Amino acid sequence: MADTHSLPQRARLVVHKALLVIYRHLPVGARRRLVRSISPSFTVGAICLIERPDGHVLLIRHAYRQRWGIPGGLLKRREDPAAAAHREVLEEVGLRIELVGEPATVVDAVPQRVDVVFRAKPVSLEAVGEMRPCSPEIVDARWFSPDALPELQHETAQALVALARSCQPGLDPFTSRRRSTRTTPR
């Protein structure tokens, strides 16, 4: 059987294999530095869709944005995304939360951003009443019915889509409750 690779293609394959052999023998730290130096860098954030027992969701408005979003922000170095979600919500609106279920992930290639999207609920009903903007960057924080959402930031809309896609079949992505499968009343 004839070789289907041209000379330049074969040379590239040989070089590629040789580089992989060298890479395999590098210490782990050197491998990580090498990969990080040639890979694109992304910012990583943790954001939360926070729901009250009645299904209303918490939205915030930043001083530097027109549309509404959900609480969250960038991870600190070596910070766990779940810990960042708790920290950001507490810093922005003074609310203690409990994370619910597994997070979804949004990767936005153009701005090189990765968001880890959590669902959460307030730890208590008393905490809901005490919620307020606590950061200079937050100018408003309100609870909205899922049926009456204001204009959302692009990142928030992406997060809601990701949560809806990751939601278990038959569950409402806003309330985590079973959707009714009946189409007509009994």
- In 5-119, which ranges are continuous DSSP H helix? 7-25, 28-38, 81-93
Q: Which residue has the tokens 């499968």?
A: 181
**Lowest mean pLDDT across 58-62, 129-133, 177-181:** 177-181
User: Is the pLDDT reported for residue 88 higher than 90?
Assistant: yes
Pairwise pLDDT comparison (144 vs 171), residue with the higher score: 144
pTM confidence score: 0.74
Q: Region of 101 please: left (phi>0), alpha (psi -120 to 50) or beta.
A: left
Domain parsing of the chain, residue ranges? 8-38, 43-166
Q: Could you tell me which CATH class the domain 43-166 is placed in? A: alpha beta
Output the pLDDT for position 177. Answer: 56
21-66 per-position pLDDT tens digit:
888 888 988 888 888 788 778 899 999 999 999 999 999 999 999 9
Output the pLDDT for position 185. Answer: 45
